[in-house]
Amino acid sequence: MARTQVGIIGAGPAGLLLSYLLHAEGIDAVVLEARSREYVERRVRAGVCEHPTVELLREIGVGARMDAEGLPHHGFSLRFDGADHRIALTELTGKSIMVYGQQEIVKDLIAAHEAKGHPVEFEVADVELSDVDGERPRVRYRDVDGKPRELQCAVIAGCDGFHGVSRPSAPGLKPIDREYPFAWLGVLARTPPSHEELIYTYHERGFALHSMRSPEVTRLYLQVPQDEKIEEWPDDRIWSELSARLATSDGFSLHEGPILDKSVTPMRSFVAEPMRYGRLFLAGDAAHIVPPTGAKGMNLAVADVRVLSRALVELLRHNRSELAESYSDTCLARVWRAEHFSWSMTSMLHTAPGADDFQRRLQLSQLRYTVSSTAAATSLAENYVGLPFE
């Protein structure tokens, strides 16, 4: 049986960043991941990094490629009434965001682990957590060769996402959730972005988002019905619908190109309270999900593990438990602020099935107020660039 101080389940941004922060403080950690390294390095997810996330990655020394290849953005557009209305993030807040794919952050963190010899085990199977309410929780699993292994830990960090094994291993958590009556059809296209910044579009046919991953690759989204099948969306239909929703009165031109990937993602809000059970701590999507409209998912995971890393250093090095005991409450304060922001952006920009003219006029009223009021625009900008860490 092997031993470590912190067993980390999941090699996404949360698990890898937590491991890196702990190793920097002299705390042993082992990361276990069910997928292959190739899979997690190519898994396309979030692309917007909040200001605090960018600053943290720079601070710990893993931000060099992000600064070289990422795309700093100082604003974004709300598009409605056939026109763009820019939210000037930097002018309003003094801060900016960085467009840099989650998979690129994962690549950077894996490379940093490799360079320092920190252990990450890929392609593990049959992961089971036990004794999480005791002093020595255990992780049983099969390694890449199928051999049974057991890892004894002082603490387990569940960073394995919404469908992982960690949250079901914590009995008594209270799930609080909401499902939305629509989904996002997301595409990755090999074509230069059609606009220098993100465009969030309110349209009577449904929401659309123009984003990007690089100067050569564009990320685009369409609101679709909740039960939509990707087979119903050939490439020509996708481009036609995007063109219709993103059209402006001044003749906006959408760049088209080969679609590299497309998928339909359901929309939900979910929070599990508390984010801790005994010696098992949940972080990131294992504990909470936000609609992607507010670009908060990965950034919340980063905020979680920043708090958790400090709590575990205090607990395991100094035998002080105050930060560990307050971990859940500390994180949930930020989580619920992000949940509200993401819900409000979603509600303001999406067309609900069966929505009547009253509801549509309320949405347009809110959009017009947001872009005409400095106070309203500043509030949106402050939340979007990321509230300061505690």
Catalytic residues: 73, 200, 292, 296, 384
Q: Look up tokens 């505690």; give the residue.
A: 390
Torsion-angle region of residue 153: left (phi > 0), alpha (psi -120 to 50) or beta? beta
On the 0-12 / 13-18 / 19+ scale of CB atoms within 10 A, 217 is: middle
Cβ proximity of 386 and 50 under 8 Å:
yes
Q: CB 321: neighbour CB atoms within 10 A?
A: 11
Question: What's the first-to-final CA gap in the chain, in angstroms?
Answer: 38
**What does the longest C-alpha to C-alpha distance in the chain come to?**
67
Structure tokens, 192: 């230069």
Look at strands 125-130 and 48-49 and give their pairing.
Answer: unpaired
**Phi/psi of residue 174, each to 5°?**
-95, 115
How is the beta sheet containing 71-73 ordered, strand by strand? 48-49, 97-99, 71-73
Closest CA to 217 of 194, 233, 251: 194
Q: What is the DSSP letter of 389?
A: P
